[in-house]
A = this chain, B = another copy of it.
Amino acid sequence: MDQSIQEKARAAKEASRVLYTCSSAKKNSLLRAIIARLRSNTQHILDSNAEDLARARENGSSNVLLDRLTLDEKRIGQMIKGVRDVIALYDPVGRVIERVKRPNGLRVEKMRVPLGTIGIIYEARPNVTVDAAALCLKSGNAVLLRGGSEAIRTNTTLVKIIRMALQDVRLPPGCVEFIDTTDREAVLTMIAQDRFLDVVIPRGSQQLIRFIQEHSTVPVIAHGEGNCHVFVDRSADLRKAEEIVVNAKVQRPSVCNAAEKLLVHKAIAQKFLPRVAARLRTAGVEIRGDEGACAILTNAVPASEADWTKEYLDLIIAVKVVGDLGQAIDHINRFGSHHSDAIVTGTKSNGEKFLREVDSAAVYVNASTRFTDGYEFGLGAEIGISTQKLHARGPMGLVELTSTKFVVHGTGQIRK
């Protein structure tokens, strides 16, 4: 066990006690100090990033990875804008969300408080270092960061900069701790620190997230996969349906809220499938079909059983013809990943039934699944998208980085 990781977790916990009672004004002054330090150290960041990039090229990293890793002045500008957006967000800490007066005179309130210490485990993108730290700090939490090995120099520099800002406003450096050993052992040590960490949020591949869920003694908020569906009902406006399906599939196929499956009511399949297939193929999408779909789309690839549970994150879609709404809902609840699912329908009661019965983090009527996102839902920011049901589900903003406590005002009450 790496003692230094335990020490960092302990230091973060100590610092979280200071952040716990920080005013919004104090936390915003910290965020402004981070912006100032990012600005005055831009060249320093770019130099560290150049080192990471050189190493990644030597190791023959893919273009996708190199792109994720790269920072330039524009991306640093976006980082700074991100922090500025967090300053503008309403601070949920201290807000009383429930209040009841009991017959014995006790006033019982439920108040939002920081979670305490948050562990974030992420991979290549160095902007997560600043984004995640800003959200955690604004919500009064200390953070223990563990980024990927590819971005280790960039991340180390970014954390140094944030800690200069902490010093500028006289907050303890432990508010933001960074683990600079990047092997799996380090992750194992980190997720065993349940004495000091209140939650771990992994962001990255499904393998990484699964590994953490299996081994963590710290509660985990998991960002699961998105096997998202669009169901086109018999009463759908087919022009709208076409736009929604194409948008959900091709606007950004590599993300978790992109559609991976298309279900079509049998009554309109003959009419709808050829037109939407033509649009999808023009956009480079490979179409796989069940028997019903392949009978209409003669050059579709037959889908295998495994296709129905798969998240492609690519220009592939599997299409199924269903007998009715109930069959569509049942298919989505059984084979989907409970992330984001949509119905396109002209029948109000069918839309309502779909919204009620589909058990997913976000359910849509007549809109693209691509809207599942903290900004699009009006949360102002996003630390991730939860596909679990405890604590937070769907896009997570500042409020999801808080807990609550019961605050009880008495005048000498004792229990009989």
Contacts and interface: CB of A to CB of B under 8 A. Distances in A.
Interface of A: 17, 20-21, 94, 100, 102, 106, 108, 113, 115-116, 194, 198-199, 213-214, 217, 219-221, 237, 240, 243-244, 247-248, 251, 333, 351, 355-357, 359-368, 370-372, 376-378, 388-391, 393-395, 403-415
Contact of A364 (B243, B357, B410): B410
Contacts of A94: 356
A84 to B, nearest CB: 20
A389 B213 contact: no
Contacts of A409: 351, 355, 365-367
Given A370-B414, A414-B244, A390 B405 contact: no
Contact of A214 (B217, B359, B360): B217
A388 B217 CA distance: 12
Given A364-B410, A410-B365, A376 B21 contact: no
Given A108-B377, A364-B410, A394-B405, 9 more contacts: A100-B377, A213-B217, A219-B220, A221-B390, A351-B409, A355-B407, A355-B409, A367-B409, A367-B411
B405 A357 contact: no
B100 A20 contact: no
Contacts of A368: 410, 413-415
Contacts of A367: 106, 408-414
A299 to B, nearest CB: 26
A142 to B, nearest CB: 12
A108 B340 CA distance: 13
A397 to B, nearest CB: 11
Nearest to A115: B389
A98 to B, nearest CB: 9
Contact of A370 (B213, B214, B407, B415): B415
A153 to B, nearest CB: 33
Given A367-B106, A408-B364, A20 B389 contact: no
Question: Taking each of A221, A248, A415, which has the highest tally of chain B beta carbons within 10 Å of its own beta carbon?
Answer: A415
A415 B373 CA distance: 11
Nearest to A356: B21
A113 B358 CA distance: 11
Given A378-B108, A414-B251, A415-B251, A359 B113 contact: yes
